[in-house]
Amino acid sequence: MDFRLDDGWQIRPLRGNTGTAYMGIREQERLFIKRNTSPFLAALSLEEITPRLVWTKHISTGDTLTAQEWLNGRCLSKEEMGQESVAKLLARIHDSKILRKMLRQVGGRYIFPEELLSNYFRGLSLELRTHPLLKKVANQLRMHQPKLDHRKFKVSHGDLNHKNWLLSDSGKLYLVDWESARLADNALDISMLMCQYVPRKDWNQWLTKKYDIAVTDSLKRRICWYYMVNLLLSVKENHQRGHFFEMNQDILQVADFFNNQEFV
């Protein structure tokens, strides 16, 4: 794509992206350039959650380009995701009134538990709809949906995969790729991270010592509820894609969690 940037810039697509991310190169300068990213990026940059925003440009195609400083570094490994630095950064995001205000101003949407459950049932195949275990779990989730005040919702990243955590060579940790940002119960993000990367026996310690929150019965129930609904959504997605091995692995996780009666 011809971005018509200043003379001397070369634009190279980055592998592993969906055709929206590029490296900008001019002599010794490097920039991370992305097309049509969220306007929320400016607030994230000011709060040093993401690398520094250098400029924003509107181009003739109608697209908007953003350029951020290029940082040498690496993504976190799965084993590093349980570290205190990860929990502290996530807690800072959730506690930030500035980020919440800015996301609301740029049209950030609220996501409620009932919407997640509705997403599971929408277009669900007959095979999964009648699966005895999945049917039983879905019914339990419907009966025990968290009742929440949306005014207490936090900024939620929505995709806390370890590949979205960038550790710069200088030791600064960033959370990138905010295309799924929304306003939600902070237990939604917490459940995504803990259930993927923190052994269940360490959940209490991670919450109290690293994320620094009081572990109440309500919080436990909400974390488990979001964990289960996200597992069901993963089962559905893998079934639709024909990834049956991954689907069966998810179903085994559903069975393990449900049979231990750790949610309800």
CATH number reported for the structural domain that contains residue 30 in this entry? 3.30.200
Model pLDDT, residue 264: 39
Question: Residue-wise over 222-249: b if at least 16 C-beta within 10 A, else e?
Answer: bbbbbbbbbbbebbbebbeeeeeeebee
- Distance from the Cα of residue 62 to its chain's centroid: 28
- Regarding whether 190 and 131 lie in a shared domain, the answer is yes
Residue 264 lies in a domain: no
pLDDT recorded at residue 250? 95
| Sites in the chain below the pLDDT cut of 70 | 1-8, 16-19, 261-264
Catalytic annotation, pick one of 2, 159, 189, 202? 159
CA distance 77 to 39: 29
- The model's pTM is 0.87
Q: Are residues 59 and 139 in the same domain?
A: no
Taken in order 87, 89, 92, 93, is the CA torsion positive or negative?
A: negative
CA dist., res. 240 & res. 195, Å (int): 23
What does the alpha-carbon distance between residue 40 and residue 64 come to, in Å, rounded to a whole number? 13
At which of 70, 103, 122 does a domain end? 70
Known catalytic residue at 159: yes
Flag whether 4 is in a domain: no
Per-residue pLDDT of 5-58, as tens digits, reads 666 677 787 875 566 788 888 878 888 888 878 889 999 999 999 999 998 888
For residue 198, being part of any structural domain is answered with yes
Where in the sequence is the domain holding 181, given as residue range(s)?
75-259
Q: Are residues 81 and 65 in the same domain?
A: no
Residue 6 has a pLDDT of: 62
CATH number (domain holding residue 95)? 3.90.1200.10
Query: Are residues 39 and 164 both part of a single domain?
Result: no
DSSP 47: T
Residue 12: the pLDDT is 80
The last residue of a domain, from among 49, 70, 91: 70
pLDDT at 33 (0 to 100):
87
Return all residues near 161 (Cβ < 8 A) that are at least 6 apart: 196
Q: Which amino acid, residue 80?
A: E
Q: Which of 51, 70, 89 is the last residue of a domain?
A: 70
**Pair of tokens at residue 55:** 């400029």
